[in-house]
Structure 1
Amino acid sequence: MIKIFNIFSIIILFSIIGCSIFESETTDLEPIEGNILFTINFDSTEIVPSHAGFLLLMKTEKIYSCCNFEIKTFMTTNKNTINIKLRGIYFPDICATALGPARSRIPLNISNGEYELIFNYEENSDKYILSIDERNIDVTKVDTSFTVYKIFNNSF
């Protein structure tokens, strides 16, 4: 009985390792077409209030045939610099059949202060200054080509 369990466990392990389902999210990305709209919001909806914070919300200008497409990103921070690398649009295997933009929601572990916010996609780099205090979230454009700061109307 133990031998059968061990053989079965090895077969499952090799099946998982060889399965491309875990790679598809990072390798099968479509190019971003058009501008990326973004905003910064305070997220007070966290279950644990001590973990409430700021969110970077992004969506494409382009409307897709499925409303669950995602903008895949990679974020790094260094002191007062937030660097967002946009990697592409991920089309999941299951389509939520309603029109909509591709979206991304990134929690920002930041507090009040001034930050350089940089978006990178392929050879393009957009820069903003993000200022946060007790009353305001202010985003100032420095150099942009493919991103647009916009305050969304409850669209997330």
Structure 2
Amino acid sequence: MSWKKKAEAEATLLSEERKRWREICEKDNSEKIVLRNNVNNLKTEIEKLKKEKTEAEAARDEARSHRERSEQREEQTKAELESAKKDLQLVRVENAEAMRRLTETEEKLENSKTARVTAESLVEPLNNNILWMQHHGIINVANSILNSIDLDQIVANLMVTARHDSYA
């Protein structure tokens, strides 16, 4: 009997151990199911994050591309602006040169007008002198020469010399 009691006690103990083992296995299985669900949720979350990462990288690449195009347009605009500034500077220099030449030309024109007025004021008395000379001057000059004492003496000397040399 002691053997039977021992076997019954062992069977009871074994039965309790089995219950505890089953409880532990069920608890372990529950924990594993929860962990598996967590792992599956995490896998889903990882896939979602991978998609978000891919989308973010695509957006980043697009933003970089857009920024590079913007920088290129900005550089091109800067180059065009510099070219326009140089062109404007050249136009300003040309304008200044044209203004200088215009000023010089205006001064020459003013000097020319002054010279013309001066010449006209000098021409009028000369014209008057020419007219006087034509009407009165030539006659007066001829009379002065003909009535000149020096001329009379020279002509007389010439005649005397011509007679001495046998010229009539």
**Which protein is bigger by CA-based radius of gyration?**
2
**Structure richer in helix, relative to its length:** 2
TM-score range, shorter chain: under 0.3
Please report the TM-score for the alignment, with normalisation by the length of structure 1.
0.22
**Structure richer in strand, relative to its length:** 1
Please report the TM-score for the alignment, with normalisation by the length of structure 2.
0.21
Higher relative contact order structure (alpha carbons within 8 Å, sequence separation ≥ 6)? 1
